[in-house]
């Protein structure tokens, strides 16, 4: 212990470590009525880190070549010591990341944490959501299985609905007329380099904004004095008399992360096939279309929406409008009231919208 203290003193003398700890951990005060939902951001950070680590390990053995990709994944899953664990953690982790991200967004929506002055926090978070969907989609092709090949064929083909530029856009995404080796090269580059870099940058921006605006006060539970914000000047939302981030809320973060790991590991070890169909283990064959290609669960609502509308362009436009509405919500919903119980119209829209999304997803699954 004495050695650790001496080391800490040595570091403190040079970089002022005690001051940082006081400011960012023990002296960083959070609202007294902060709840468990606020810890989902930390869970997401852990998931992202795990995805990066498992992704790097997979890259050691994965071969991004249409001739070798499937075999390399088969090798990782069957021959490489603990390769199955790394790959399953990566594949299950990508789905869990989307699920936790959706929960994080829903809780932000419900507690109205997107409202002024946190518009930029919401927008960066929303962009992160689309990028996580993008990284999942590009990663889906990499095993070069029947499932990944045909799901990508269907996904990239959707852009063809755009008037005039559509067919060119499809060819640009695929790198050829049909999904083939050039598509794998493009998707691999996007999956391992471009999108992760942008996601990392945006996570940094999201955290920076969080630090600059301060943590929002939940609209229910023990009431703190209502935070007022004057648009004429910048103000950090502090919480005098609040609970310290360390150790109090850090322990909540660790509790949530442990619960997440329990669920995540249960899927990895006991139900990994929840996320794979048998076509995921058959090598891609451009001449044999599997009978029922369905997108991943988080795209099922989009998939079903397009089936409802008679025209593809109309279906795409409706989805784009819905996504745009959600992205711009902080600029549309300007009411200062943050308690959902005092906003019945919002509550009905929130619950109705969520149930509609679930309903469309279930319909898409069984259609």
Partner 1 sequence: MTYLRQLRRSSLRPALGALSLAVLAALAAPQPTHAAAEAPAETVCIQCHGSLPDRLGAPVKLWRTSIHSENGISCNACHGGDPKDAADAMNRSRGFLGAPKEPDIPAFCGRCHPGVLKDYLASAHGRALGKGGPTCVTCHGNHAVLKASLDLINEKSCTRCHSFERARIIKEAMQQTEGHIVGIDRKIKDYQAQGVDTERLGKSLFAVRNRFHTLFHEVNVTKVKAESNDINTELGKLDRDLKVVDEARAKRKVAGACAVAGALVLALLFHLMKKSYD
Site residues for partner 1, 303-362, by CB under 8 A, read 303, 306-307, 312, 315-316, 319-320, 322-324, 326-328, 331
State yes or no: residue 146 binds partner 1 (CB under 8 A). no
SS3 category, 29: strand
Q: How far apart are the first and last CA of the chain?
A: 63
Q: Going residue by residue from 61 to 80, which x/- string records binding to partner 1, judged by CB under 8 A?
A: -------------x--xxx-
Number of residues that bind partner 1 (CB under 8 A): 75
Alpha carbon distance 363, 165 (integer Å):
31
Stretch touching partner 1 by CB under 8 A, among 9-17, 218-226, 267-275, 354-362: 267-275
Q: From its phi and psi, is residue 262 left (phi > 0), alpha (psi between -120 and 50) or beta?
A: alpha
Look-up of token digits 């927008």? 123
State yes or no: residue 155 binds partner 1 (CB under 8 A). yes
Least CB distance from residue 189 to partner 1, whole Å?
Answer: 16
Q: Which is nearer to partner 1, 7 or 313 (CB)?
A: 313
Q: Locate 105 and state its tokens.
A: 């967004």
**Footprint on residues 76-135 left by partner 1 (CB under 8 A):** 77-79, 84, 116, 119-120, 123, 126-127, 129-130, 133-134
**Footprint on residues 206-245 left by partner 1 (CB under 8 A):** 231-232
Residue among 45, 30, 44 at smallest CA distance from 103: 44
**Footprint on residues 157-176 left by partner 1 (CB under 8 A):** 157-162
Q: Which is nearer to partner 1, 160 or 347 (CB)?
A: 160
Give, in order, the Cα–Cα distances in Å from 250 to each of 25, 33, 237, 257: 9, 15, 20, 10
**Footprint on residues 268-307 left by partner 1 (CB under 8 A):** 268-270, 272-273, 276, 278, 280-281, 286-289, 293, 295-296, 299, 302-303, 306-307
Alpha carbon distance 193, 191 (integer Å):
6
Residue 336, classified by CB atoms within 10 Å of its CB into exposed (0-12), middle (13-18) or buried (19+), is exposed
Least CB distance from residue 113 to partner 1, whole Å?
Answer: 17
Q: Which is nearer to partner 1, 10 or 234 (CB)?
A: 234
Q: What is the DSSP string of 164-179?
A: TTHHHHHHHHHSSSSS
Alpha carbon distance 106, 354 (integer Å):
9
Instruction: Identify the residue among 40, 141, 151, 360 touching partner 1 (CB under 8 A).
Output: 151
Least CB distance from residue 140 to partner 1, whole Å?
Answer: 9
Q: Which is nearer to partner 1, 57 or 73 (CB)?
A: 73
């Amino acid at each position: 212990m004495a050695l650790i203290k001496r080391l800490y003193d040595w570091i403190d003398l040079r970089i002022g470590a005690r001051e940082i700890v006081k400011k960012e951990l023990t002296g960083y005060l959070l609202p007294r009525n902060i709840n468990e939902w606020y810890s989902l951001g930390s869970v997401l950070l852990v998931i992202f880190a795990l995805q990066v680590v498992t992704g790097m390990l997979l890259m050691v053995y994965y071969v991004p070549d249409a001739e070798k990709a499937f075999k390399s994944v088969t090798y990782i899953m069957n021959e490489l010591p603990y390769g199955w664990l790394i790959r399953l953690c990566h594949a299950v982790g990508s789905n869990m990341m989307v699920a936790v991200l959706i929960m994080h967004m829903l809780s932000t929506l419900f507690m109205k944490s997107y409202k002024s002055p946190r518009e930029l926090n919401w927008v960066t978070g929303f962009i992160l959501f689309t990028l996580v969907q993008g990284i999942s989609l590009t990663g889906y092709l990499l095993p070069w299985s029947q499932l990944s090949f045909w799901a990508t064929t269907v996904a990239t083909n959707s852009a063809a609905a755009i008037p005039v530029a559509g067919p060119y856009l499809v060819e640009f995404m695929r790198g050829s007329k049909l999904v083939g080796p050039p598509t794998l090269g493009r998707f691999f580059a996007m999956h391992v380099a471009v999108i992760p870099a942008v996601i990392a940058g945006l996570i940094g921006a999201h955290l920076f904004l969080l630090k600059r605006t301060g943590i929002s006060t939940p609209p229910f539970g023990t009431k703190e004095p209502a935070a007022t914000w004057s648009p004429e000047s910048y103000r950090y939302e502090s919480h005098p008399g609040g609970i310290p981030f360390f150790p109090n809320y850090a322990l909540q973060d660790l509790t949530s992360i442990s619960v997440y790991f329990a669920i995540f590991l249960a899927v990895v070890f006991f139900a990994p096939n929840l996320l794979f169909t048998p076509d995921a283990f058959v090598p891609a064959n451009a001449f044999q279309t599997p009978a029922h290609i369905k997108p991943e669960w988080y795209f099922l609502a989009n998939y079903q929406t397009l089936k409802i509308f008679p025209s593809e362009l109309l279906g795409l436009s409706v989805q784009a409008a819905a996504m745009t509405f959600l992205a711009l919500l902080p600029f549309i919903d300007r009411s200062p009231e943050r308690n959902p119980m005092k906003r019945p119209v919002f509550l009905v829209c929130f619950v109705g919208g969520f149930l509609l999304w679930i309903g469309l997803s279930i319909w898409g699954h069984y259609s």
